[in-house]
Amino acid sequence: MHAVFRTVLERLGLGLATLFIVSIIIFSAIEMLPGDFGEAVLGQAATKETVAAFRRELGLDEPAYMRYAQWIGNVVQGDLGTSFSGRNASGIDRSRPVVDLIAPRLWNTLFLASMTAIIAVPIALALGITSALYRNSIYDRTVNTATLTTISFPEFFVAYILILLLASLWPVFPSLANVDAATPLAERMFKAALPAMTLTLVIVAHMMRMTRAAIINLLASPYIQMARLSGASQTEVIIKHALPNAWAPIATVITFNLAYLVVGVVVVEVVFVYPGVGQLMVDAVTSRDIPVVQGCALIFAMTYILLNLTADIIGIITNPRLLHPK
Amino acid sequence: MSDSGQKGDILLDIKGLKIQGFSDEKWHDIVNGVDLTLRRGEVMGLIGESGAGKSTLGLAAMGYTQPGCKITAGEIIFDGVDLAKLSDAEKRKFWGNRMTYVAQSAAASFNPAHRLIAQTTASTIRAGLKDRSEAYSDARILYDALNLPDPEHIGDRYPHQVSGGQLQRVMTAMAMSPRPNLIVFDEPTTALDVTTQVEVLSSMRKIVEEFNTAAIYITHDLAVVAQMSDFIKVLRYGYEVEEAPTRQMLSTPKESYTKSLWSVRALEKKEQEIGQSILSLKGIDAAYGVSKVLFDVDIEVPKGSTVAVVGESGSGKSTTARVITGLLPQTAGSVHFDGTELPPALADRSKDQKRRIQMIYQMADTAMNPRQTVRDIIGRPLEFYLDLRGKAKNDRILELLEMIELDGRFLERLPSELSGGQKQRICIARALAANPDFVICDEVTSALDQIVQEGILKLLLRLQKELGLTYLFITHDISTVKAISDQVVVMNEGKVVEQGQKTEVFQPPHPGYTELLLSSVPEMDPDWLTNLNAKCADLKG
């Protein structure tokens, strides 16, 4: 057990190192964006002096490495800086801390992601296992075709079809998912139903096919034939003999899709007017609100790293070779 | 046991069994109308080359066919029930209960995710023969009977935590756990070293006798089958060649095919006088990373002779070959070839130094690029080393093919279109293409059937005579050593234990390890194992 614990700590350390490198990349990438924030906000009419004064006020005139050091120093203390927007030429400052901007949006995103995951992962696993069990049957083919069909359509198309069917023709769910902090849980779930369904349709295929493939891949192993020859039924063979050895690849593809739910759902957010982080980041990029863009990017990177770490850990604890060394 | 049959009653009666397998988009006959009768408590040896249908027949004795195979005719009557007519669900009541299976590779046949004792007892508990605690304590008794170390706790381990020989015995315990009427052993010791094989064979035989279990023992190793079986059935191309009691079969085989199987073991090279050394290793140490695998190895190879390097897996035989070829630079010591010292690393050797030392591998399958034709495979060293192009290259390829007893029809074939023996011949031709002086043969015959082995060995001997080649022949098989070598080097745990002329090394008295290795090689005498065990018992007593 000790060895596994050490491996996990090692991976965590590596994750932190990766995050640090990613922070440099994020910062440099934004540094390389063309155009100037001062000019973008103050407009073409602003004089050179006004722009310079504005840049000085935001600290944009300092060298890049100084700004990076300051930013990363604050980030470590939990401060993502102050948003650039809300300021204007008249000098009134209504800008808000980035953390305050991101936090409620992130909560919304995580809520939608969890809700989708709770629906999608069990469905994907169940479909994957059963289609492996009834391989090449009509059931298997139907499931494969259906999931492939849903993944083949663009997200917005699936979203609009669902709106047409479940909000317009048969009005079961609302087509707008405009939640806020005050929305009670039940209503939140009700409003998020269509976005969650859309995302489920989008991610189930990938997870289901990987589960099926991972299990079928193992069915050719000699120990599976051995299990059959010792009288195990097909269900027992799959659940008891194939599945325990298939968790690592399955966990990898599940976490990959969960990461997608956090960082890649901006289209669905736009369609359903759902106030998530994706939309916030896109808006921030348009308005050159650098601290917000950096904050979002860093959170996305962290999500990826944490989820991949989880997949690694699942891979380790389900592998007896690593869990029980010689 | 779930029934009360008497010893000598017919347990299994297979009549006119035909099995077909689907490959290359056609159905092929695998078993062509075989009859088989096995009585309670009898052990039948089933031998034949690969493709003879022996594994298929062994599995069919349990009513099982592999995916892609089907039974097309015949009956498999087990204790009055025709298994061929039952559904899978009905057959499952027999599997792991009244009949069990021991597979060739124990390492691959245990589920890596579960503890050994859970796997040992799973079928017994499922069949409701014993409850969990009874089955577990019975498993520990079986582990003890099979001479496994620490029988009380070995079952708590996972498959990767025990050795191959131990796993094979745990699998025998697993097969024995429900006290079946029939066990099918499918080449259960082929993957083991000889010294391990002896122990496993002894424990298997002991337990089969103790519980009066009938068994079908499938193998291609005649000496092994001689120890295990009451009678032997020889198969070829899915047909029965002949069947007879073991002693009679060994002393007076009737069919010429059986006789040819028997004669392979008689091949023996006449020993040559020692000439001048072409290769000498002095004080070689080598390591993979931090783990040291060779310790102060000295080997002299006389020009024009064959030096066999024998030892079990992990003894450092193949590592020695890697040092000679420069794939693994040694950490200490020197390699002299034809008077000059070779640079340790392959990258520092000249093209001519590389050309003069060639290698042939155990797995001809993986040693060739599956996408290249025979022409490309043999042509490449001709271009690289000898700068042959066009017609000169083509002529030389044909010449080489003739040397290995193949011809121009093979030029455009891919490795997948060749048989095992033909593949190994192409690998030999590829090595010869470089006009080498020294050829390292790393277990080149161990993946082949005995008759094919004989062909390859004869070919190598003929080429040696014609071209004056020197061979370093790595093998774990003593009969191969007898067939091909002049000198023998015995290795154990990275050290050279003994080295000398073949006759000297094989002549008693031997140093401890050589004695163990030689005495572990099964002989064609059916009493060999019994005598060996008696001798060991005497020594202990």
B508-517 per-position pLDDT tens digit = 777 778 888 8
Q: What is the pLDDT, as a whole number, of residue A93?
A: 65
| Cβ–Cβ under 8 Å, residues B200 and B35 | no
Residues in contact with B196: Cβ distance below 8 Å, sequence separation at least 6, in sequence order: B163, B164, B165, B189, B312
* Interchain CB contact of A326 with B (< 8 Å): yes
Closest CA to A98 of A260, A256, A270, A284: A284
Q: What share of chain B in percent tops pLDDT 70? A: 98
Measured between CA atoms, how close is A318 to chain B, in angstroms?
8
Tell me if A233 and B114 make a contact (CB, 8 A cut-off). Answer: no
For B448, residues 6+ apart whose C-beta sits below 8 A from its C-beta are B420, B421, B424, B456
What tokens appear for B265 in the block?
């073991």
B 237-276 residues with CB < 8 A to A: none
Q: Does any domain span residue A121?
A: yes
CB contact A136 to B (< 8 Å): no
Q: Which residue type is seen at A248?
A: A
Q: Left if phi > 0, otherwise alpha if psi is -120 to 50, otherwise beta: which for B512?
A: alpha
- Taking alpha carbons only, the member of B173, B294, B221 closest to residue B54 is B221
Interface of B with A in 279-318 (CB under 8 A): none
Structure tokens at A249: 């690849």
Q: Between chain A and chain B, how many beta carbons pairs sit less than 8 Å apart? A: 75
- Show Cβ contacts of residue B170 under 8 Å, excluding neighbours closer than 6 positions: B106, B110, B116, B120, B143, B146, B148, B154, B155, B162
Beta bridge partners of residue A275, listed in sequence order: none
CA of B363, closest CA in chain A: separation in Å? 20
Q: How far apart are CA B319 and CA B315, in angstroms?
A: 9
How would you label B285-298 residue by residue, b for 16+ Cβ within 10 Å and e otherwise? Answer: bbbeeeeebbbebe
Q: Tell me, what's the pLDDT at A203?
A: 92
Contact A231 B123 (CB under 8 A): yes
- Cα B197-B199-B202 angle, rounded to 5 deg: 105
Considering only the beta carbons, identify the residue of A229, A231, A241 that sits closest to B111.
A241
Minimal C-alpha gap between B186 and chain A (Å): 12
Structural domain harbouring A278? 106-287
B87: contact with A, CB 8 A cutoff: no
Q: Determine the residue among B83, B88, B109 to mutate to test chain A binding: the one whose Cβ has the most chain A Cβ atoms within 10 Å.
A: B109
Cβ–Cβ < 8 Å for A133, A219: no
Is A298 inside a domain boundary? no
pLDDT score for B419: 84
Beta bridge partners of B308: B473, B488
Element (H, E) at B430: helix B420-433
User: How many Cα neighbours within 13 Å face the side chain of A267?
Assistant: 12
| All residues at 6 or more sequence positions from A15 whose CB lies less than 8 Å from its CB, including other chains | A305, A306, A308, A309
pLDDT of amino acid B189: 82
Q: Give B264-267 contacts, CB < 8 A, sequence gap 24+.
A: B264/B450, B264/B451, B264/B453, B264/B454, B265/B222, B265/B223, B265/B450, B265/B479, B265/B524, B267/B454, B267/B457, B267/B458, B267/B479, B267/B482, B267/B483
B167 and chain A: CB distance < 8 Å anywhere?
Answer: no
Q: How far apart are CA A61 and CA A53, in angstroms?
A: 9
Which residues on chain B are in Cβ contact (under 8 Å) with A241?
111, 113
pLDDT score of B258 = 86
Total structural domains in chain A? 1
- The pTM of this model reads 0.79
Q: Of B243, B225, B212, nearest to B186 (Cα)?
A: B225
| Type of residue found at A41 | V
Q: Give the pLDDT confidence score for residue B416 in this predicted structure.
A: 86
Which helix (H) or strand (E) segment holds residue B494: the answer is none
Structure tokens at B296: 């102060």
Ramachandran quadrant class, B422 (left: phi over 0; alpha: psi -120 to 50; beta: rest): alpha
pLDDT in tens, B106-150: 888 999 999 999 999 999 999 999 999 999 999 999 998 888 889
Residue contact B93–A230, C-beta within 8 A: no
Fold of the domain built from segment(s) B96-228: Rossmann fold (3.40.50)
For chain A, the maximum distance between any two Cα atoms, rounded to a whole number of angstroms, is 86
In a domain, A53, yes or no: no
Establish whether domains B10-88+229-259 and B277-507 are of one fold.
Answer: yes
Q: For residue A254, what pLDDT is reported?
A: 93
Q: B218 to chain A: which residues are within 8 Å by CB?
A: none
Which amino acid, one-letter code, is at B526? P
**pLDDT score of B5 more than 70:** no
Rounded to an integer, what distance in angstroms lies between the CA atom of residue A146 and that of residue A142? 6
Are B92 and A233 an interchain contact pair (Cβ–Cβ within 8 Å)? Answer: yes
Q: Average pLDDT of A308-322?
A: 86
Q: Do A321 and B160 touch (CB under 8 A)?
A: yes
Q: Are A230 and B123 an interchain contact pair (Cβ–Cβ within 8 Å)?
A: yes
**From the CA of A244, how many Å to the nearest CA of chain B?**
6
A101-120 average pLDDT score:
92
Q: Say yes or no to pLDDT of B155 above 80.
A: yes
Confidence grade of residue A183 (pLDDT, cut at 50, 70, 90): confident
Q: Read off the pLDDT of each residue in B451-467 and give the average, rounded to a whole number.
A: 89
User: The complex's ipTM?
Assistant: 0.76
**CB–CB contact B111 A231 (8 Å):** no
The answer to whether B433 touches B382, Cβ cutoff 8 Å, is: yes
Q: What's the rounded Cα separation, in Å, for the pair A207 and A256?
A: 9
Mutate which: A135, A223, A245, vs B, most B CBs within 10 A? A223
Residues of A within 8 A of B64 (CB-CB) are 228-229
Decide if A94 touches B, using CB distance below 8 A. no
pLDDT digits (tens, 9 = 90+) for B337-370: 988 999 999 999 999 999 999 999 988 888 899 8
Contact B191, B185 (CB under 8 A): no
Give the closest-approach CA distance of B387 to chain A in angstroms: 45
Tokens of B489: 């080097």
Q: Please, which residues bridge with residue B357 across strands? A: B438
pLDDT (average), residues B47-53: 83
In this complex, is the C-beta atom of A230 within 8 Å of any C-beta atom belonging to chain B? yes
Q: A7-42, pLDDT tens digit by residue? A: 888 888 999 999 999 999 998 888 887 766 666 667
Residue of B nearest to A317 (CA): B113
Return the residue in B92, B99, B171 with the most chain A beta carbons within 10 A, the one to mutate for interface testing.
B92
Q: Please determine, for residue A75, whether its predicted confidence score (pLDDT) is greater than 80.
A: yes
- In this structure, what CATH number is given to the domain that contains residue A193? 1.10.3720.10
Count, in order, helices (H) and strands (E) of chain A: 16, 0
Q: pLDDT (tens digit, 9 = 90+) per residue, A244-255?
A: 999 999 999 999
Best probe of the B interface among A219, A229, A234, A319, by most B CBs < 10 A, is A229
Quick check: is A19 in a domain?
A: no
3-state DSSP: chain B helix, strand, coil percent, rounded to 5?
Answer: 40, 25, 35
For residue B16, name the pLDDT band (cuts at 50, 70, 90): very high
* A contact test, residue of B65, B111, B123, B218 with most A CBs within 10 A: B111
The gap between the terminal CA atoms of chain B, to the nearest Å, is 35
A145 part of contact set with chain B, CB < 8 Å: no
Tell me the nearest-neighbour CA distance from A134 into chain B, angstroms.
Answer: 15
d(CA A3, CA A11): 12
Task: Look up the CATH number of domain B277-507.
Answer: 3.40.50.300
How much is the average pLDDT of A168-190?
86
Cβ atoms of residues A46 and A89 within 8 Å: yes
**Better pLDDT: A232 or B521:** A232
Spatial distance between the Cα atoms of B531 and B181, rounded to a whole number of angstroms: 28
CB contact under 8 A, A245 and B101: no
Superfamily of domain B10-88+229-259: P-loop containing nucleotide triphosphate hydrolases (3.40.50.300)
**What is the per-residue pLDDT for B2?**
44
Could you tell me if residue B405 is left (phi over 0), alpha (psi between -120 and 50 degrees) or otherwise beta?
Answer: left
Sheet of B277-288, strand order: B291-302, B277-288, B332-337, B340-341
Spell out where B49-164 has E strands: 69-78, 81-82, 99-102
Q: Is A239's Cβ below 8 Å from some Cβ in B?
A: no
Q: Which residues of B touch A245 (CB under 8 A)?
A: 111-113
Please tell me whether residue B527 adopts helix, strand or coil conformation.
coil
Pull the structure tokens for residue A47.
Answer: 């004089």
Chain A residues with CB inside 8 Å of B101's CB?
226, 229-230
Residue whose tokens read 């025709």: B82
Phi, psi of B206 (to 5 degrees): -60, -45
Interface check B214 vs A, CB under 8 A:
no
State how far Cα B504 lies from the chain centre.
27
The mean pLDDT value for B410-421 works out to 87
pLDDT averaged over chain A? 86
Burial A283-322, CB ≥16 within 10 A → b, else e = ebbebbbbbbbbbbbbbbbbbbbbbbbbbbbbbbbbbbee
What is the total residue count of chain A? Answer: 326
pLDDT score at A90: 57
Which helix H or strand E contains B44, and what residues bound it?
Answer: strand B43-47
Q: Using N-to-C axis directions, what is the helix angle for A98-133 and A290-317, rounded to 10°?
A: 30
Say if residues B6 and B40 touch (Cβ distance below 8 Å): yes
Q: How confident is the model over B173-216, as pLDDT tens digits?
A: 999 899 999 999 998 887 777 877 888 888 888 888 888 899 99
Which residues in chain B are contacts of A319 at CB distance < 8 A?
A: 112
Instruction: Return the pLDDT at B463.
Output: 92
Structure tokens given for B49 = 């080359």
Tokens 């859309």 belong to A198
Q: How confident is the model at residue B1 (pLDDT cuts 50, 70, 90)?
A: very low
For residues B32 and B25, what is the distance between their CA atoms, to the nearest angstrom?
20
pLDDT band of residue A91 (cuts 50, 70, 90) is: low
φ and ψ at residue B420, rounded to 5 degrees? -55, -45
Nearest by CB to B108, from A222, A232, A326: name it. Answer: A222
Averaged pLDDT score across all residues of chain B = 88
Question: What pLDDT, on the 0 to 100 scale, is given for residue B299?
Answer: 93
pLDDT at res. B252:
86
Q: Does the residue A310 lie in any domain?
A: no
Among all residues of chain A, which has the CA nearest to that of B103? A226
Question: CA B442, CA A258: separation in Å to the nearest integer?
Answer: 50
Q: How far is CA A47 from the centre of its chain?
A: 43
- pLDDT value at residue B483: 86
- Residue in the structure block whose two tokens are 């027999």: B94
Q: Using CA atoms, how far apart are residues B353 and B336, in angstroms rounded to an integer?
A: 11
* pLDDT at position A86 over 50: yes
- The more confidently predicted of residues A72 and B449 is A72
Å between B133 CA and nearest CA of chain A: 19
